[in-house]
Amino acid sequence: MPGTPPTRFVFLGPEGTFAEQALRSIPAAERGTRTPARSVGEALDSVRAGDADAALVPLENSIGGAVGVTLDEMAEGEPLVITREVILSVQFVLAARPDTPLPSIRTVAAHPQASTQCRGWLRNHLPDAVVVDVLSNGAAAAGVGRGDYDAAICAPIGASGHRLTTLADKIADHPDAVTRFALVSRPGPPPPPTGDDLTSLAVYIAHDRVGALLSVLMELAVRGVNLTRIESRPTGEALGRYVFFLDCTGHVADVRLGEALQGLRRVCADVRFLGSYPRHRWAEAGERPVPAPAGLSDVDYADAAAWLTRLRTGELT
């Protein structure tokens, strides 16, 4: 039911992953039920089927880039919308069973992306250890807990969940890496505007029209809508056919973004609205929303609309 707070959450599993850690940062999810899914598609389909109220899935990583499977799943099937974003600092740890000394480690379980991001630390501290690929960070921690491997590269929540000892923390080669997650629900009224929001879209351009992508960008630029991300993905229809995923500053309730959406509807082959939601705030960063250029704020739009109304009724002052 639109407006009812979600209580049943699903996340990209298994347990003990960064996705679970990100989900548990949402108060409603900490109070509600949390169920791991085997894939992004399974998580989103459980929301579409009504088996869950919301799903938390990864959107992009500051090192690895966009998560293509999430974008593809959002662009296809029954529509879903993003209601919140969570940006999580990706802090890998090396965990082992209690009383395991670092020099005794011969095998390290890790997801391939995790071991890649920790390559330098492994080379400097465990040059002779064999890295064993596993399906997830959670599976790495679980394997160590069972005694299958000597140590795991995993999330802190994975180490604590399997009662492992952290032998080293912050072992990633890029200590400032973050992953952006999206909380996705069935369509309904978006969260109210906060003044610092993002709107996500999937845009299909007319491929037989010269300058089609430029027309998309102009609809945003002339209204002072800041484009924070653009990502292309093949549609699967034919070689050279793409859908463009856009993140824009602003909310669907904002006048200037609303006009931009109307413009995109006119010039694009199709536009899928993926949600308007509050932008993640880093409390320590003191970030502030970027103000609209002169003449392009909602106040300016309201003033111009009132002026035009006066002209149409014969008032010239």
pLDDT tens per residue, the chain (317 residues)?
445 778 899 998 888 888 998 999 999 999 999 999 988 999 999 999 999 999 999 998 888 788 888 999 999 889 999 999 999 888 899 999 999 999 999 999 998 888 988 999 999 999 999 999 998 888 899 999 999 999 999 989 889 889 999 999 999 988 888 889 999 999 999 999 998 899 999 999 876 677 778 888 999 988 889 899 999 888 777 676 788 999 999 999 998 899 999 999 998 889 999 999 999 875 444 555 566 667 777 788 888 888 888 888 888 76
Q: What angle do CA 232, 71, 281 make, to 5 degrees?
A: 100
Q: Are 103 and 125 in contact (CB under 8 A)?
A: no
The pair of structure tokens assigned to 261 is 């959406």
Claim to verify: residue 71 and residue 182 sit in the same structural domain: yes
Half-sphere exposure of 228 (CA within 13 A, CB side): 13
Q: Which distant-in-sequence residues (6+ apart) come within 8 Å of 122 by Cβ? A: 108, 115, 129, 131
Domain range enclosing 123:
93-169
Give how many domains the chain has, as a whole number: 3
pLDDT at 298: 76
Helix, strand, or coil here: 274?
strand
pLDDT at 287: 55
Claim to verify: residue 37 and residue 155 sit in the same structural domain: no
Query: What φ, ψ does residue 250 adopt, rounded to 5°?
Result: 115, 175
The predicted model scores a pTM of 0.80
We report the CATH number of the domain holding residue 111 as: 3.40.190.10
pLDDT at 288: 59
pLDDT at 285: 47
Claim to verify: residue 75 and residue 102 sit in the same structural domain: no
pLDDT at 33: 93
Please give the Cα distance from 75 to 316 (Å, whole number).
48
Claim to verify: residue 164 and residue 242 sit in the same structural domain: no
pLDDT at 220: 92
Claim to verify: residue 210 and residue 286 sit in the same structural domain: yes
Which one-letter amino acid corresponds to residue 104? S
Claim to verify: residue 55 and residue 184 sit in the same structural domain: yes
pLDDT at 1: 42
CA distances from residue 40 to 72, 136, 232 in whole angstroms, order as listed: 10, 13, 19
The pair of structure tokens assigned to 139 is 């599976």
Q: Are 140 and 118 in contact (CB under 8 A)?
A: no
Q: Taking the chain, what is the end-to-end CA distance rounded to the nearest angstrom?
A: 48
pLDDT at 215: 87
CA distances from residue 95 to 21, 157, 278 in whole angstroms, order as listed: 16, 11, 35
We report the CATH number of the domain holding residue 310 as: 3.30.70.260
Claim to verify: residue 196 and residue 143 sit in the same structural domain: no
β-pairing, 165-169 vs 93-96, is antiparallel
Burial of 199 (0-12, 13-18, 19+ CB in 10 A): buried
Per the document, the length of the chain is 317
Claim to verify: residue 182 and residue 195 sit in the same structural domain: no
